[in-house]
Chains A and B, each alone.
Chain A
Amino acid sequence: GQNIDQPTEMTATEGAIVQINCTYQTSGFNGLFWYQQHAGEAPTFLSYNVLDGLEEKGRFSSFLSRSKGYSYLLLKELQMKDSASYLCAVRPRSGNSGYSTLTFGKGTMLLVSP
């Protein structure tokens, strides 16, 4: 099975940088995803890592270390609209690529203040 840990809540100031950590334990690994979810809305895709290293996409970057079972999401130049829950999700290795199921962490609620 999979076990995913991330902080429950974080606070930051508008314009600042925040790093949200995620650690995972899984019997097999085939990718890690970050999603953003505003209250009462659907999760939306932010980033995907399958190899070690940093993936940058605008104000958002995600890092993965497979040997450490560790990832982080880095948000730069924070805006008020970034206040949301950030979900880390792991995809296990599957014998058939058509049958992958994501396991989600409980999410990190980020509050951005003026």
Chain B
Amino acid sequence: DSGVTQTPKHLITATGQRVTLRCSPRSGDLSVYWYQQSLDQGLQFLIQYYNGEERAKGNILERFSAQQFPDLHSELNLSSLELGDSALYFCASSDVGATNYGYTFGSGTRLTVV
């Protein structure tokens, strides 16, 4: 157990639907990062939050949004889902500066859009 908790582990939904992925960071970590991993693209950075505020944005679609709550857990909302959104979605957390260990990853949510 890495200390980063992601739910659900698996999600199957239809095109056009909306889903919410949840992440609780490791205790003491203020930064949360969301990554998408598909077979051909590798780990793609989506968005970062630090202590409740958005700090960096990567290749995140407008259909996707995220937030970090006062208790530091984060949610990634994916809407108007398309077949191409099927992927593993990882949440990671780090302390300030992501020191010498970079990120700690959660076990991921496997999203299948049918």
Contact = CB atoms under 8 A, between A and B. Distances in A.
A98 B33 contact: no
A43 B106 CA distance: 9
B90 A104 contact: no
Contacts, number: 67
A33 interface: yes
Interface string B71-114: 00000000000000000101000101110111111111010000
A40 B82 CA distance: 21
B2 A102 contact: no
Chain B contact-residue range equals 20 to 34
Interface string B19-59: 00000000000110101000001110100101000011010
Contacts of B43: 43, 87, 104, 107
Interface of B: 2, 30-31, 33, 35, 41-43, 45, 48, 50, 55-56, 58, 88, 90, 94, 96-98, 100-108, 110
Interface of A: 31, 33, 35, 40-45, 48, 87, 89, 91, 97-107
